[in-house]
Amino acid sequence: MTEIVAQPLTAEAFAPYGDVLEIAGAPDKIINQGLCGRYHDRAALDFGPGGRAGISLFNAEPRSLPYRLEMVERHPEGSQAFVPMHLKPWLVVVAEPGDVPGPVHAFLAASGQGINFHRGTWHGVLTPLHEPGLFAVVDRIGDTANLEEHWLETPVIIGGPRF
């Protein structure tokens, strides 16, 4: 059994896997008569040929750490963004690329952080750590499954702060 510890989610650490959505630093634009900072175009969305963008709402059961990861998945035809509709920390899990997933990495998303997995990134499914597990998910809508699951030979136990 492999044990890892969730690390703080940063744009740099997550860059090989996707984009971090956060209001970090100065906004790209000040809009709405100066009352709003726009952090413009912060994710590489990709829905491929034959698909279109969709927004779905996920209401997921919260998990707790340590978390037993048994499966990772990927979407070969498009990106997938998880945008929390709450301000709690939550868990982001990825695995290094390959036809068989490589080593698993876990990140603790802080309040207000969202992510966008790039097309084909191996990842754990949406994993809230608190109620409400409410997220907007932006991903590919199409006629194909756009889903490949890989069940790990040995589970990965993901540790981190006890809330």
Please, which residue, 28 or 70, has the CB nearer to ligand UGC? 70
Q: What SS3 class is residue 5?
A: strand
Interaction mask 66-105, Ni ion, x per CB under 5 A: --------------x-------------------------
For residue 90, CA distances in Å to 43, 50, 67, 83, 130 come to 19, 32, 12, 11, 7
Q: How far is the CB of 43 from ligand UGC (least distance, A)?
A: 15
CA 162 to CA 5: how far, in whole Å? 12
DSSP 77-101: T--EEEEESS-S-EEEEEE--SSS-
CA 114 to CA 82: how far, in whole Å? 6
Question: Can residue 126 be called a binding residue for ligand UGC (CB under 6 A)?
Answer: yes
The position carrying tokens 């069940």 is: 151
Please, which residue, 80 or 116, has the CB nearer to Ni ion? 80
Please, which residue, 22 or 73, has the CB nearer to ligand UGC? 73
Under rule CB under 6 A, which residues in 11-70 are in contact with ligand UGC? none
Q: How far is the CB of 94 from Ni ion (least distance, A)?
A: 11
Positions touching ligand UGC (CB under 6 A) are 73, 80, 123, 125-126
